[in-house]
């Protein structure tokens, strides 16, 4: 966020994330829950809202909801379903079964890689709507020639996760979604694919004078389908509000639409109040009261979550838990490699550096390769022991990450034969006798010449010498 546009103001962000659950079937019927099928093929009287059909709750969906709740440190509580009434073509029943005043999960928190905690107000269950496609008019409803509706998604189970307004920048909001996605994927409850709509983010943005603790009037922004859009939308919206307030106007509470093409938010509709939806208890479902044993069993089966993994990696490598390399390594699922290095008593800090820089960069371009931990540890050792220079180690690492194999064999193929200290000493002696004048000056204390000699050693060995070792040897030789 640029400081000049926001100077004197603080941005306040809260997020509502809808997450589709990875169940086999929909929330209240046996229709398949799968992305990308032929439109209107996974439908039945229940999810089409035909008269006389009755919903039956999907137990797997409840289990996923509990996993999410406990992973977010929420209280899992007895809850009930409500009807949220509104009319829209993508909702065949003209109401959505959701949870209202008693959600299954309440009062939790999520820890960002920075260590900051963001409060979770609730994480409730509800069903998804169908999907409308506007044909013509640039895909927007205004100016469209006609619209198509696909009910395959109607009735797909969702958990809606509502945060406290605890975020203070676009970056923090992005970190939150990134972290939440990692948690959802780790629990197995969702595939977390933003591009397929499995994860959909709405964002509440307000601003207030720096130092103020009161909340300003917020706008809700919809239609951001990437982390990049989310960040851009928040920056734009905050600056827009600064302009409104600075020119003596007031922010109107409304829902705004993010337009990726023009990089702006546009007023969509004035914000609905809860009473607009005429919530009432869903008469066709009993209340939901998972037993304590079930909740405990679900919780016990949760995997180690990203925040804890970061703590473990940081401790193992002896660095700060909030540090960038640790977050990167855990985000990419490379922490097992750091831990393998620790277990083998090799240089974990070096392993962390190589993974967070070289390997992370390479994976960003090429996708994930199955990296063999033992072989990786061997390579870390080769670099640490000076068998390879750091430049050579990075070259070997690149080939190793791309194609696997044995680091020693790769090094040999690349001509990075380990240079023994004997051989290095020989090269150093040759270089000294070939440059007596310079050696005289170096011996008398002209330390600048160390670079000259190291360069000569490098040339004499065809780049194979460990330059750090060569430097040490030259200094030692001078002192003798």
Q: How far is the CB of 82 from Zn ion (least distance, A)?
A: 20
Cα distances from 328 to residues 313, 384, 412, in angstroms, run 11, 22, 31
Q: How far is the CB of 151 from Zn ion (least distance, A)?
A: 9
Strands 105-111 and 75-76: antiparallel
Enclosing H/E stretch for 229: helix 227-246
Alpha helix segments (H runs only) across 283-357: 292-300, 306-317, 324-331, 335-343, 348-354
Give φ, ψ of 48 to 5 degrees.
-90, -5
Residue 160 touches which of Mn ion, Zn ion, none (Cβ within 5-8 Å per kind)? Mn ion
Residue 47 touches which of Mn ion, Zn ion, none (Cβ within 5-8 Å per kind)? Zn ion
Q: Which is nearer to Mn ion, 63 or 126 (CB)?
A: 126
Q: How far is the CB of 26 from Zn ion (least distance, A)?
A: 5
Strands 254-259 and 9-20: unpaired
Q: Which is nearer to Mn ion, 129 or 328 (CB)?
A: 129
Q: How far is the CB of 20 from Zn ion (least distance, A)?
A: 15
C-beta of residue 328 within 8 angstroms of C-beta of residue 312: no
**Locate tokens 């107000």: which residue?**
121
Task: Note whether 156 binds Zn ion by CB under 5 A.
Answer: no
Distance CA 217, CA 204 (A): 10
Q: How far is the CB of 30 from Mn ion (least distance, A)?
A: 23
Residue 29 touches which of Zn ion, Mn ion, none (Cβ within 5-8 Å per kind)? Zn ion
Q: Which is nearer to Zn ion, 22 or 240 (CB)?
A: 22
From 26-34, 59-67, 243-251, 296-304, give the range in contact with Zn ion by CB under 5 A.
26-34
Q: Classify 455 as helix, strand or coil.
A: helix
How would you classify residue 445: left for phi > 0, otherwise alpha for psi between -120 and 50, otherwise beta?
left
From 29-37, 159-167, 281-289, 343-351, give the range in contact with Mn ion by CB under 5 A.
159-167
**Locate tokens 């008693």: which residue?**
102
Q: How far is the CB of 126 from Mn ion (least distance, A)?
A: 5
Task: Note whether 34 binds Zn ion by CB under 5 A.
Answer: no
Alpha helix segments (H runs only) across 108-169: none
Q: Which is nearer to Zn ion, 29 or 351 (CB)?
A: 29
Q: Which is nearer to Zn ion, 44 or 302 (CB)?
A: 44
Q: Please pick, from the candidates 20, 63, 127, 160, the single residue that binds Mn ion as defined by CB under 5 A.
A: 160
Task: Note whether 44 binds Zn ion by CB under 5 A.
Answer: yes
How many residues are listed for the chain in this entry?
A: 480
Residue 298 touches which of Mn ion, Zn ion, none (Cβ within 5-8 Å per kind)? none
Beta bridge partners of 126: 158
Closest chain position to Mn ion (CB): 160
Task: Note whether 202 binds Mn ion by CB under 5 A.
Answer: no
Give φ, ψ of 176 to 5 degrees.
-65, -50
Q: How far is the CB of 129 from Zn ion (least distance, A)?
A: 14
Residue 230 touches which of Mn ion, Zn ion, none (Cβ within 5-8 Å per kind)? none
Distance CA 149, CA 249 (A): 40
Task: Note whether 330 binds Zn ion by CB under 5 A.
Answer: no
Task: Note whether 47 binds Zn ion by CB under 5 A.
Answer: yes
Q: How far is the CB of 160 from Mn ion (least distance, A)?
A: 4
Q: How far is the CB of 251 from Zn ion (least distance, A)?
A: 42
Q: Which is nearer to Zn ion, 47 or 470 (CB)?
A: 47
From 27-35, 110-118, 165-173, 332-340, give the range in contact with Zn ion by CB under 5 A.
27-35
Q: Which is nearer to Zn ion, 46 or 205 (CB)?
A: 46
Q: How far is the CB of 282 from Mn ion (least distance, A)?
A: 15
Give φ, ψ of 382 to 5 degrees.
-60, -40
**Locate tokens 């700060």: which residue?**
320
Residues 6+ positions from 452 with CB-CB distance below 8 Å? 435, 438, 442
Nearest to 206 by CA among 239, 176, 177, 183: 239
Task: Note whether 31 binds Zn ion by CB under 5 A.
Answer: yes
Beta bridge partners of 207: 11
Distance CA 68, CA 110 (A): 11
How many residues in the shown chain lie near Mn ion by CB under 5 A? Answer: 1
Q: Which residues bind Zn ion (CB under 5 A)?
A: 29, 31, 44, 46-47
Q: Which residues bind Mn ion (CB under 5 A)?
A: 160
């Amino acid at each position: 966020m640029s400081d000049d546009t926001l100077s004197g103001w603080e941005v306040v962000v809260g997020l509502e994330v809808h997450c589709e659950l990875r169940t086999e079937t929909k929330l209240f019927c046996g229709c398949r829950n799968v992305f990308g099928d032929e439109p209107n093929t996974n439908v039945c009287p229940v999810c089409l809202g035909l008269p006389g059909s009755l919903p039956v709750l999907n137990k797997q969906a409840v289990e996923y909801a509990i996993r999410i709740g406990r992973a977010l440190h929420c209280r899992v509580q007895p809850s009930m379903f409500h009807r949220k009434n509104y009319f829209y073509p993508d909702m065949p029943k003209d109401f959505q079964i959701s949870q209202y005043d008693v959600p299954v999960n309440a009062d939790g928190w999520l820890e960002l890689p920075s260590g900051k905690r963001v409060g979770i107000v609730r994480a409730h269950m509800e069903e998804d709507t169908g999907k409308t496609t506007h044909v013509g008019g640039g895909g927007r409803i205004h100016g469209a020639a006609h619209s198509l509706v696909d009910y395959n998604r109607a009735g797909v189970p969702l958990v809606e996760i509502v945060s406290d307004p605890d975020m203070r920048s676009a970056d923090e909001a992005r970190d939150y979604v990134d972290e939440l996605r990692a948690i959802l994927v780790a629990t197995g409850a969702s595939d977390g694919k933003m591009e397929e709509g499995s994860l959909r983010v709405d964002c509440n943005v307000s601003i207030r004078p720096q130092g103020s603790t009161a909340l300003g009037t917020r706008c809700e922004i919809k239609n951001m389908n990437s982390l990049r859009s989310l960040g851009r939308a928040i920056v734009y919206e905050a600056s827009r509000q600064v302009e409104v307030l600075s020119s003596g106007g007031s922010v109107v509470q409304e829902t705004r639409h993010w337009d990726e093409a023009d990089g702006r938010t546009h007023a969509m509709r004035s914000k609905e109040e809860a009473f607009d939806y005429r919530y009432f208890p869903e008469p066709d479902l009993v209340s939901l009261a998972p037993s304590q044993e079930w909740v405990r069993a679900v919780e016990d089966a949760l995997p180690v979550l990203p925040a804890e993994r970061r703590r473990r990696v940081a401790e193992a490598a002896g660095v700060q838990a909030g540090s960038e390399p640790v977050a990167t390594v855990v985000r990419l699922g490379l922490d097992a490699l750091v831990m393998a290095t620790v277990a083998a008593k090799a240089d974990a800090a070096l392993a962390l550096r190589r993974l967070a820089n070289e390997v992370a960069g390479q994976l960003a371009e090429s996708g994930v390769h199955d990296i063999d931990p033992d072989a990786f540890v061997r390579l870390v050792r080769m670099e640490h022991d000076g068998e390879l220079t750091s430049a050579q180690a990075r070259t070997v690492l690149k080939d190793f990450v791309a194609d696997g194999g044995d680091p020693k064999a790769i090094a040999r193929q690349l001509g990075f034969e380990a240079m023994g200290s004997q051989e290095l000493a020989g090269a150093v002696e040759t270089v000294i006798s070939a440059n007596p004048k310079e050696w005289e000056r170096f011996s008398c204390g002209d330390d600048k010449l160390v670079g000259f000699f190291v360069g000569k050693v490098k040339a004499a060995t065809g780049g194979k010498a460990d330059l750090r070792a060569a430097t040490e040897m030259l200094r030692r030789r001078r002192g003798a």
